[in-house]
Amino acid sequence: QVQLQESGPGLVKPSETLSLTCSVSGGYNNDYYWSWIRQPPGKGLEWIGYIYYSGSTNYNPSLKSRVTMSVDTSKNQFSLKLSSVTVADTAVYYCARGAARFDPWGQGTLVTVSS
């Protein structure tokens, strides 16, 4: 079955750009949308946005000015960039399949914003 795995730096400095990649195994195809969702420590879930294999995207307006998503179909990967980060962007970042409901999810990766 489909499995997702996030990767990227666990520590990012304030004002810099957070970059994460999600690798999909066991069933990537071009019929799906792929999303990013985050969860600050001890808090709830926030949808960041989704991307289709064609490259079309839909971002949460609250983050839209700082978010860029991309997809590399040859590598079965999709990526997230979040610019100008602050401590408020410290969170576990999840990738997931879907643009509406999300299933399955990656295990998540903690990104800490700190100098």
Partner 1 sequence: EIVLTQSPGTLSLSPGERATLSCRASQSVSSSYLAWYQQKPGQAPRLLIYGASSRATGIPDRFSGSGSGTDFTLTISRVEPEDFAVYYCQQYGSSPRTFGQGTKVEIK
Q: Mention every residue, 6+ apart, whose C-beta is less than 8 A from residue 29.
A: none
Restricting to residues 45-84, which ones interact with partner 1 according to CB under 8 A?
Answer: 45-47, 58, 60-62
> Binder to partner 1 among 12, 102, 111, 113 (CB under 8 A)?
102
2 is a site residue for partner 1 (CB under 8 A)? no
Q: What is the DSSP letter of 96?
A: E
Which of the ranges 9-17, 23-31, 76-84, 102-110 carries the binding residues for partner 1, by CB under 8 A? 102-110
32 is a site residue for partner 1 (CB under 8 A)? no
Do residues 90 and 112 touch, judged by C-beta distance below 8 A? yes
Cα 25 from Cα 22, distance rounded (Å): 10
The three-class DSSP label of residue 104 is coil
5 is a site residue for partner 1 (CB under 8 A)? no
106 is a site residue for partner 1 (CB under 8 A)? yes
Q: Mention every residue, 6+ apart, whose C-beta is less than 8 A from residue 38.
A: 45, 46, 48, 91, 92, 93, 94
| Closer Cβ to partner 1, 16 or 32, answer by number | 32
- Footprint on this chain of partner 1 (rule: CB under 8 A): 44-47, 58, 60-62, 94, 99-108
